[in-house]
Amino acid sequence: MKRVITIYTEHKNTIQFYLRTSLGSFHPISHERNDMKRFFEFEKAAEIIYAVSAKFIQSTPSYGRKEDDESRQGADKSFYFKWVSFVDEPIHISNPYLHHMTGRPTLTAVKQEESGYLVADFDMLKLLEDLRLIEHNSFVEKINKIVMGLGGSLLGIVSVFLILYGAYIFGAMLFASHLQNEVMHEIFTSIISITIGLAIYDLAKTMIENEVLYKSLEYGNDVQSKALSKFLTSIIIALSIESLMAVFKIVLDDYSKIINAFYLIVGVTMLIVGTGIYNYLSRQNKG
């Protein structure tokens, strides 16, 4: 949505001129279904069209590109027309908004007629694509959703397995007498497994939410930065626990290997510093 609004703002005059020309040149013989839906034949970005009487009552069903909504006929539109003005232009163009039926960024154009008003809703994504202001491919998007959905689902299964495996290790330690001598090792292993499982689950959830269920055009910045930051934080926690476990094992067994634990701690520290720098730069770019 943010990217769509940015492009619309940059080319607002051109887009509004196109919409006014498109709707202004449409003169249906009647407000019957076949006559009204002729608008979709030459305007690919239009999604819904309907007529409103001079008393601001919707006089026709909402004719959609794919299906019609009969329930909207007779609805009171007076509230919406409080924000409509024909003083400066013969056709009013609304501000961008999310459509209640499609959930996609939409522009509404309203043309004043002798007997009332003609209203058309335009899908902004398709509109920008038709005007060559944005590159968008519906087929590629569907393939991307399938791949991301499948990948996210598999990651979710792996994460659940790791969490259950961590719980199994902890349960086995409590009830198996032969593991009592390795309590610390088993506890740390259980914690690491659960932590990594939660990190992978959070990554899978972010993928499915932002790439499949609530697909948006906010690629690259906020969503990906937050997902990567959260994933790195979980990995840092897991590595920190592993470092602590390595220190305990070396102290109990062989001090000569303490340098290995030191290298691991240094690596975790560098990862923490790198994540902090990345978060700082992300906030700077966002600001």
Q: Is the pLDDT of residue 220 over 50?
A: no
- The answer, as to whether pTM is greater than 0.85, is no
Exposure on the CB side of residue 9, measured as CA atoms within 13 A: 6
> What pLDDT shows up at residue 241?
74
Q: Is the pLDDT of residue 213 over 90?
A: no
Cα angle 101, 48, 121 (rounded to 5 degrees) comes to 85
pLDDT digits (tens, 9 = 90+) for 22-54: 999 999 999 999 999 999 998 989 999 999 999
Q: Which of 193, 266, 203 has the alpha carbon at shortest distance from 233?
A: 203
> What pLDDT shows up at residue 4?
79
pLDDT digits (tens, 9 = 90+) for 224-276: 666 677 777 777 777 777 777 777 777 766 677 778 778 888 888 888 888 88
Q: How many CB atoms lie within 10 A of CB 189?
A: 19
* Long-range contacts at 33-42 (CB < 8 A, ≥ 24 apart): 33/61, 33/63, 33/68, 36/60, 36/63, 37/63, 39/120, 40/65
Domains of the chain from N-terminus onward: 2-130 (3.30.450.20), 138-286 (no CATH)
Most confident listed range (86-95, 156-165, 190-199, 207-216): 156-165
